[in-house]
Structure 1
Amino acid sequence: MRIQPATGFKSSVRAVMVGLAAAGLGLVGGIHASFASPEFLSPTHPTQLLAQSPKVISSGTFVSGEHPTKGGVKILKEGNKRLIQLDQGFSTFSMGPDLVVILHRANNVIGSTKPPAYALKAGDYVVVAPLQKFNGTQTYTIPENINLANYKSVGIWCRKFNATFGAATLK
């Protein structure tokens, strides 16, 4: 029996598909082989692939001021950046207008201010950024011109009514 070469559009498409499948298998085999190579398995290879983890400089837990505020906060150093990170458990009152994240000079903002608003005095704090959302994880870059040694706590503050919703002492 003699096999005739296929002709026509369908056979051309079939030939291209078979070629692509073969090329794909070769590619997968190539990737697989690289994972098994001695260079990939060397002990130094994973450290080359992973970005350097942020270093925790300080951390604290929010206490409520004028409104219920809870969760944790960390000050991080990541490369040349310094960050404020509110954790997944963070939440504050969702009806506050003009809420901002601040750094405050006092280590106990709520204890050093008076209820019900826990109003702040100019010069005792610096605004870092507007609050992104009322709950959950969020990160803020601390401007380079802020000297962290001068600040002992992080607060959530309503600029419009000078009301501290909550604050966390940094340790």
Structure 2
Amino acid sequence: MKRKHFGMLVIAAFLVVSCAESKPTSAESSPPAEAVSQASPATEVATKSGTFAAGEHPTTGTVRVGTENGQQFIELGEDFKTSEMGPDLVVILHQDADVLGSTQPPAYALTADSYVVIAPLQQFQGAQRYEIPANVNLSDYASAAIWCRRFNATFGAATLR
């Protein structure tokens, strides 16, 4: 009788151990590898850049324009900073290379049809990037500026070279 109980105990122990959840090996526990596609590197062409000069308000830092993967862009550098005084600041491209020299202080007001508005300014300082619409011909514009649309005041401008 003791043998019978011992045999049943061994079988029960075997079943418990074999049915217990097994821990996966390290190969089983790691997540499946994802296929990594080899994306072609970004292609950048025709980059021009400049440094902001203050107009109606202090504006400093760098700017560059160009095309990357077929999309035109304007990018304000990490060092960009302008005044927080404007209620309606926008990033523009201007036809004249010397926006501040071709306009009158203190506002440096712009004339219609001499610029194109790219986008509202995202933030008063730091790096930021804006897409330029495909219908804008970059060769028609020689400078970038931060402009207060409501009061027609140029906060700062940069000649693009």
More helix per residue: 1
Give, in whole Å, the separation in 2 of the partners of 1:120 and 1:82.
24
Give, in whole Å, the separation in 2 of the partners of 1:116 and 1:159.
15
Considering only aligned residues, what root-mean-square deviation do their CA atoms show, in Å? 2.5
Give, in whole Å, the separation in 2 of the partners of 1:77 and 1:67.
29
Alpha-carbon shift at residue 24 of structure 1 (Å): 2.2
Match of 1:123 in 2: 113
Give, in whole Å, the separation in 1 of the partners of 2:96 and 2:118.
16
Equivalent of residue 163 in structure 1, options 140, 153, 157: 153
Alpha-carbon shift at residue 94 of structure 1 (Å): 1.0
Equivalent of residue 67 in structure 1, options 57, 74, 90: 57
Residues 79-110 of structure 1 show CA distances to partners (whole Å, capped at 9, x for unaligned) of 11100000100010012111001110110101
With over 3 angstroms needed to count, the CA separation of the structure-2 counterparts of 1:144 and 1:50, relative to structure 1, is closer
Q: Greater Rg, structure 1 or structure 2?
A: 2
Give, in whole Å, the separation in 1 of the partners of 2:123 and 2:116.
19
In structure 2, stretches of 5+ residues that fail to align are 1-9
- Does the 8 A contact of 1:56 with 1:74 survive in 2? no
Give, in whole Å, the separation in 2 of the partners of 1:120 and 1:91.
21
In structure 1, stretches of 5+ residues that fail to align are 32-44
Alpha-carbon shift at residue 51 of structure 1 (Å): 3.0
Matches within 5 A, 1:51-66: 51-66=41-56
With over 3 angstroms needed to count, the CA separation of the structure-2 counterparts of 1:12 and 1:59, relative to structure 1, is same
Alpha-carbon shift at residue 148 of structure 1 (Å): 1.4
TM-score normalized by the length of structure 1? 0.77
Match of 1:88 in 2: 78
Q: Kindly provide the amino acid, as one letter, of the partner of residue 7 in structure 1.
A: V
Match of 2:4 in 1: none
Equivalent of residue 105 in structure 1, options 74, 95, 102: 95
Equivalent of residue 20 in structure 2, options 5, 12, 15: 12
Give, in whole Å, the separation in 2 of the partners of 1:136 and 1:111.
26
Match of 1:24 in 2: 29
Give, in whole Å, the separation in 1 of the partners of 2:27 and 2:141.
63
Match of 2:125 in 1: 135
Match of 2:135 in 1: 145
2:56 is the alignment partner of 1:78: no
